[in-house]
Amino acid sequence: MTASRRSMVVLLLLSGAIISLCMGLRQSLGLYMRPMTTDLGISVATFGFSIALQNIVWGISQPLVGALADKHGARPVLIGTALLYSAGLALMIFANSFPGAFQLAGFLAGIGTAGTGFGVLLGTITRATPPDQRSQRVGLVAAAGSLGTFFMAPFGQFMIDGFGWKAAMASYALIAGSVALLSLPIREQPSAGGQATKSTQKLGDALREAFSHRGYVFMTLAFFACGFQLVFLTTHLPAYLQICGVAPGVAASSLALIGLFNTIGTYVFGLLGAKYSQKHLLAMIYGLRTMFIAIFLLV
């Protein structure tokens, strides 16, 4: 194995692990709704707003975090945002300490998600990968993001049942902080064309170029629908099932299954994207998702 290939393998493995932890933590926070609202005396709306704020900040800060990664490299951005993510989760334990603590926790976790999620790492991988291999490699790493939910949801429920939600949230904060350690070996890879990977394009120019691209605009709208559905399910499904008398472990298993099949689907469609029209595949995915959600509501 050549040095460049070995470096790419390390990048793919570390990227998969980091995204897996980041998304696994984010998509299993709904497990904490019932114990936190009961113990802290806060409303479901307050908890839900914190999760919503996390996702809004994630989206808004993504271009800024991406620009920092382009300018300074992925590693320092990953380390800094991982520590912010950890601080946000830890702050949730002391959410009643001062006014606005819950909202600040969501804000910090949102920036943390922006840095340790898909954008920074997939951008690094994409720049270093030849066009004919990008769909497979991006699909492989993106699949790891959903795999994190498969492991984190049962782990989170186990910690809540055995040690209480505060100890469980503390373990989440430690896991988020460990992403900083995983980021240390990451290096910027040479681009597929053999040139430097750091971009000299200004953020404003990049945003104008992106929003002038019709495909980018439609893709952003599609991701908005995807994120809304996924966050709604992962935030409110566990509490809803418990209200219906279903054991908390079933809720965790439901989130784990969503993560597992999302992992399989992401990888499979990543392979198919190298052979077939990606926009047609994406349309099929959203069509199937709409159909299955409708069936869930009817049943």
pLDDT at 210: 75
Supply the pLDDT for residue 34: 92
Report the CATH superfamily, name and number, of domain 3-189+204-298: MFS general substrate transporter like domains (1.20.1250.20)
Structure-token pair, residue 252: 């965790």
Q: Round to whole Å and give the CA distance between 16 and 146.
A: 10
| Spatial separation of the C-alpha atoms in residues 28 and 158, rounded to whole Å | 12
CB 105 within 8 A of CB 91: yes
Per-residue pLDDT of 175-208, as tens digits, reads 999 999 999 998 765 555 544 455 566 767 777 8
* pLDDT tens digits, 41-60: 888 988 999 999 999 999 89
pLDDT the model gives residue 212: 82
Give 169-203 as a DSSP string.
Answer: HHHHHHHHHHHHHHHTT--PPPPTTSS-------H
Q: What is the pLDDT of residue 195?
A: 46
For 275-291, the pLDDT digits (tens) are 888 888 888 888 888 88
Q: What pLDDT, on a 0 to 100 scale, did the predictor assign at position 201?
A: 66
CA distance 267 to 270: 5
Place of tokens 């070996």: 185
186 phi/psi in degrees, rounded to 5: -70, 130
Which residue intervals of the chain are DSSP H helices? 3-26, 33-40, 44-72, 74-93, 101-116, 118-127, 131-163, 165-183, 203-211, 214-243, 248-272, 278-298
Which candidate, 226, 237, 238, 236, places its Cα nearest to that of 266?
226
Phi/psi at 277 (5° precision): -60, 120
Q: Give me the mean pLDDT over the 153-167 stretch.
A: 95
Question: Where do the domains of the chain lie?
Answer: 3-189+204-298
CB of 255 closer than 8 Å to CB of 237: yes
Please return the burial class of 45, using the count of CB atoms within 10 Å of its CB with bins 0-12, 13-18 and 19+.
exposed
Token pair for residue 263?
């992992």
